[in-house]
Amino acid sequence: MWGGKGRLLAQAAGRPEPPANAYNVGVPTPASVRFDRSVADRLARFVAAHPGLSASAATNMLVDEALRTQDHPMIVFRDGPAGRRARLIGGPDVWEIAQAVSSARRAEPGLRTDALVELVTETSGVSERLVRAAVDYWADYSDEINAWVERADVEAAEAERRWRTERQLLGG
């Protein structure tokens, strides 16, 4: 854990290494990366278009997304009014498929997996291949996708509450 002098002194004295301190546990590893001029310029434009996002944070996010796309080639990442999120190529956001799968499972708890995917495909108009790609991504990043679903559910409940209140106020 400890490098350099601390480890050497502990080894020389026949003692175990000193315990890790908070400053060296869970801290991202700094890395020096050299970009081609055109890549650096595009990164600078990306950072400028995303206030509050540092060049370092943007680089980390974009590399993470590129690696995720390597593992899940039917997934892309797009900005939107609610934030940046995973999306199916030529299709909806992954969380929307996750929400549809969850809803179908609640409505039809006895369906086999293939029948569930078929139901979501029929009701969403999204191909089976894309539904399965979304479920694969959801399986790997369930906390992220579940958070999007929860956020959408909260917003939908709030919109319905507001609509009912407006109807009541207008006497409808």
Question: Would you say residue 11 lies in a domain?
Answer: no
Q: What is the mean pLDDT of residues 87-110?
A: 95
What ranges in the chain are assigned the alpha helix state H? 4-12, 37-48, 55-71, 94-107, 113-124, 128-140, 142-169
Whether residues 77 and 62 fall in one domain: no
Q: What is the pLDDT of residues 14-41, one digit of tens each?
A: 555 444 444 445 567 788 889 999 999 9
77 — pLDDT class (breaks 50, 70, 90): very high
Nearest to 129 by CA among 88, 86, 78: 88
43 in the same domain as 93: no
Same domain, 42 and 54: yes
In three-state secondary structure terms, 103 is: helix
Residue 50 belongs to a domain: yes
Domain boundary among 48, 70, 92: 70
Do both 92 and 76 map to the same domain?
A: yes
Instruction: Give the 3-state secondary structure of residue 146.
Output: helix
Asked if the structure places residue 20 within a domain, the reply is no
CA distance 62 to 87: 15
Q: Are residues 140 and 117 in the same domain?
A: yes
DSSP state of 19: P
Instruction: Give the pLDDT score at 122.
Output: 96
The answer to whether residues 62 and 141 belong to one domain is: no
138 lies in a domain? yes
Same domain, 66 and 142: no
- Helix orientation angle between 55-71 and 128-140, rounded to the nearest 10 degrees: 130
104 burial via Cβ count (<10 Å: 0-12, 13-18, 19+): buried
Mean pLDDT of the chain: 87
Q: Please tell me whether residues 37 and 109 are part of one structural domain.
A: no
Query: What is the number of structural domains in the chain?
Result: 2
**What's the domain range around 56?**
33-70
Q: For position 157, what pLDDT does the model report? A: 94
CA distance 12 to 42: 51
